[in-house]
């Protein structure tokens, strides 16, 4: 009889563990979805601000068409990105393109003094800060979730109920660095195509005539 009670106690303990672990994984998965939703809100705000920025800059530097088209093109790519990895790559393009647009103000004092331009720059900078904060929270939650589904014995329950690992949302630190702008030359936007061929080597000077 004691043996039966021991077996029943073990079954109850295992059932409780499975239930608690499953609910914990569901909670973490839902927190990831909520964290991504917060990122998405800030990304959409960024996308909404970019057309206003482009129109403002056009009024003072309309002939810098390549630079302006680059940021519009980067925005279009970002709006169609799917998944954290593709989204992060697209955001890197936007950040680099925006820095090139902001750098135009150094060559156009009237643009630099324009209040609308300054307000948009401030709003975009603030939005980028909120994206960074939301990204950190998202990645921290993904780390906890991925660690749990890979750890023993919770990985058994995760595999049984098809809890898959989630991607991190990682942006390139280089995109947030200083940008050196060659005015009149647009920043390159990588759309996933083939790389441009390297420039041809300069021709060798002709040999000196023999004596």
- Is residue 122 in a domain? yes
What is the percentage of the chain residues whose pLDDT exceeds 90?
67
Mind spelling out the 3-state secondary structure of the chain?
Answer: CHHHHHHHHHHHHHHHHHHHHHHHHHHHHHHHHHHHHHHHHHHHHHHHHHHHHHHHHHHHHCCCHHHHHHHHHHHHHHHCCCHHHHHHHHHHHHHHHHHHHHHHHHCCHHHHHCHHHHHHHHHHHHHHHHHHHHHHHHHHHHHHHHHHHHCCCHHHHHHHCCCCCCCCCCCCHHHHCCCCCCCCCCCCCCCCCCCCCCCCCCCCCCCCCCC
The tally of domains found in the chain comes to 1
How does residue 173 score in pLDDT terms, banded at 50, 70 and 90? Answer: low
- Is residue 9 in a domain? no
Residue showing tokens 């300054």 = 118
User: Is the pLDDT reported for residue 172 higher than 50?
Assistant: yes
How does residue 206 score in pLDDT terms, banded at 50, 70 and 90? Answer: very low
- Looking at residue 43, what is its pLDDT? 95
Select from 131, 123, 126, 119 the least CA-distant residue to 43. Answer: 131
Q: Quick one: 144 exposed, middle or buried, by C-beta within 10 A (0-12, 13-18, 19+)?
A: middle
User: Is the pLDDT reported for residue 199 higher than 50?
Assistant: no
2-61 helix and 115-150 helix, angle to the nearest 10 degrees: 160
- Is residue 84 in a domain? yes
Q: Which domain holds residue 27?
A: 16-176
**Do 28 and 144 touch, CB atoms closer than 8 A?**
yes
Which pair of tokens denotes residue 115? 């209040």
- Is residue 201 in a domain? no
| pLDDT per residue as tens digits for the range 34-74 | 999 999 999 999 999 999 999 999 988 878 889 999 999 99
- Is residue 168 in a domain? yes
Give the global pTM. 0.75
- Is residue 10 in a domain? no
- Is residue 76 in a domain? yes
The verdict on whether omega for the bond into residue 166 sits within 30 degrees of 0, i.e. cis, is no
- Is residue 4 in a domain? no
Q: At 86, which CATH number?
A: 1.20.1440.20
More confidently predicted of 191 and 204: 204
**Do 135 and 92 touch, CB atoms closer than 8 A?**
no
């Amino acid at each position: 009889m004691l043996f039966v009670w021991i077996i029943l106690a073990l079954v109850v303990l295992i059932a409780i563990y499975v239930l608690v672990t499953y609910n914990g994984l569901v909670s973490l998965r839902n927190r990831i979805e909520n964290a991504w939703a917060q990122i998405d809100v800030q990304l959409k705000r960024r996308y909404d601000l970019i057309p206003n920025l482009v129109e403002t800059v056009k009024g003072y530097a309309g002939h810098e068409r390549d630079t302006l088209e680059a940021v519009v093109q980067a925005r279009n790519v970002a709006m169609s990105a799917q998944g954290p990895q593709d989204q992060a790559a697209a955001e890197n393009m936007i950040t680099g393109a925006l820095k090139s647009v902001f750098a135009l103000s150094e060559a156009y004092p009237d643009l630099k003094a324009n209040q609308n331009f300054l307000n948009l720059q401030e709003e975009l900078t603030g939005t980028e800060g909120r994206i960074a904060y939301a990204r950190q929270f998202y990645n921290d939650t993904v780390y906890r979730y991925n660690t749990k589904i890979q750890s023993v014995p919770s990985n058994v329950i995760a595999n049984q109920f098809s809890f898959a690992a989630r991607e991190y949302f990682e942006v390139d630190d280089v995109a947030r660095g200083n940008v050196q702008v060659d005015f009149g030359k647009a920043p390159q936007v990588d759309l996933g195509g083939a790389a441009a061929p390297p420039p041809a080597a300069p021709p060798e000077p002709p040999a000196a005539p023999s004596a």
